Structure 1
Amino acid sequence: MLFTDDVVLVDESRARVNRKLELWRRTLESKGFRLSRTKTEYMMCDFSATRHEDVKHRILAGWLKWRQASGILCDKRVPQKLKVKFYRTAIRPAMLYGAECWPTKRRHVQQLSVAEMRMLWWFCGHTRRDRVRNEAIRDRVGGAPIEDKLTQHLLRWFGHVQRRPPEAPVRSGVLERVDNVKRDRGRPKLTWDESVKRDVKDWNISKEIVLDRSAWRLAINVPEP
């Protein structure tokens, strides 16, 4: 093994992270490895941020990708099939990054859906003045709506968590309910596990399917041409 990448050290303060980093450096050097400090980055998680802000940030990230590729997506000479493929492989993943951990409300799904339809209208060469129905745009583009892909991300992660042994950290970290977290005003006070229960019920998925990896993949499959 010549190199390794994507190692994350997590702690409550930067000083404690630096102590862990120094321990990693000494351990790696004792085994003949070197730690590149020039590529080391620090990230801070603000757990006081609301879910609405997270969804808004992902939508803005999708539009950023859109602007970077606007020369292709808005070019009438580029085949629409290629535009759709680019949207599915670059723009939509940017909008759904981390979505498997979102306790989404209906308004969050609506915001993502509105952003997606605006993008589909745009690269199909239509505006609101053309008075074309959303259903017609969807039929023309094909594929699954972003709300279905959002549910697919959530349920796929839920299936992965359920198949892990009870002592696995992901089981205790994801499914543990935290009661002292301040939530947004208004009902319902939706949590991640409540979102999962809602989607499992809507998709009519049994517990046996959750524990069966192959059956689970078929159950949550959202086909796209």
Structure 2
Amino acid sequence: MTGKGRELADMMERRKVDILCVQKTRWKGSKARSIGAGFKLFYYGVDSKRNGVGVVLKEEFVRNVLEVKRVSDRVMSLKLEIEGVMLNVVSGYAPQVGCELEEKERFWSELDEVMESIPTGERVVIGADFNGHVGEGNTGDEEVMGKFGVKERNLEGQMVVDFAKRMDMGVVNTYFQKREEHRVTYKSGVKSTQVDYILCRRGNLKEISDCKVVVGESVARQHRMVVCRMTLMVCKKKRSKIEIEKKTKWWKLKKEECCEEFRQKLRQALGGQVVLPDDWETTAEVIRETGRKVLGVSSGRRKEDKETWWWNEEVQDSIQRKRLAKKKWDMDRTEENRQEYKELQRRVKREVSKAKQKAYDELHTRLDTREGEKDLYRLARQRD
């Protein structure tokens, strides 16, 4: 995830994805941060070199979050209330095949605990890299999966199926017939398989109309995004429009000319009195109204993305070319296409580094302005 937040947000916006579970974030800490384009990432990690999980939400759903459970750097969940419906989104990252059995058992125990803490009447969607193959076909397991997996089942895949049976869930990917290229979630060289799955309660499978793998994106080098279309059956309720409050620019009183003008206008508004009247409510309203007229008010518009204030068109253009090169290499795996994709990966890193440096240089020249101070304070908070 490091350095790819805005690229991920752009992909979600382009693909019309509202909620995304991410793994291997490799960000230390337990925070929520804007990643640009109107998306926010809730994440948890204990080591910047391994593991880490997160859930990305479209900004309009952030106010619906009721609870965030950061269980470990392999399991976390968010509870949202959407028009009266409780939706629990769980992000998981299972240990790889070669890891110790104890570590694998700890992961499944944590996932079990999360599921057991969720009331049976609430929706649950799990998006996870399970590092296992449930396999093609569903003989004997018809109640929890469809026929459309990939290749043979392994021990880790059996753990996924056992978990689904234990929790009365369905492995969503396997219910939709797609050509193999749109079922493969992991591709590295000649190796291709299915290890990333979406699970939901069996009783809510009817709310999912499609599930497929998205090819041609370059945010993740080897993994592919699994997308499902889910329509929650909710009671229709008119949503009230939320407006961002406009605020008086009281900070302008630090300027002598503004302060003097405010003093004069306030005196006029109070009828020339030097001593304030006893009725505080009346006085306060006069002060507020004078402030609005003399100092002005904020626009009330949404603030710009905090995390990607350095973003520019050159970076966006380079990422677009990298994405097209990845798509080209996926379709025709020649050495020439691979080298082109690798070169564009390096170019994107250079463009990002250059854009950040340019933004920092501009910030340095603005340090003695109020906007520069605000930018510096914001950056300091991001690094807490």
Normalising by structure 2, we get a TM-score of 0.19
Structure having the larger proportion of residues in strand = 2
Structure with the greater alpha carbon radius of gyration? 2
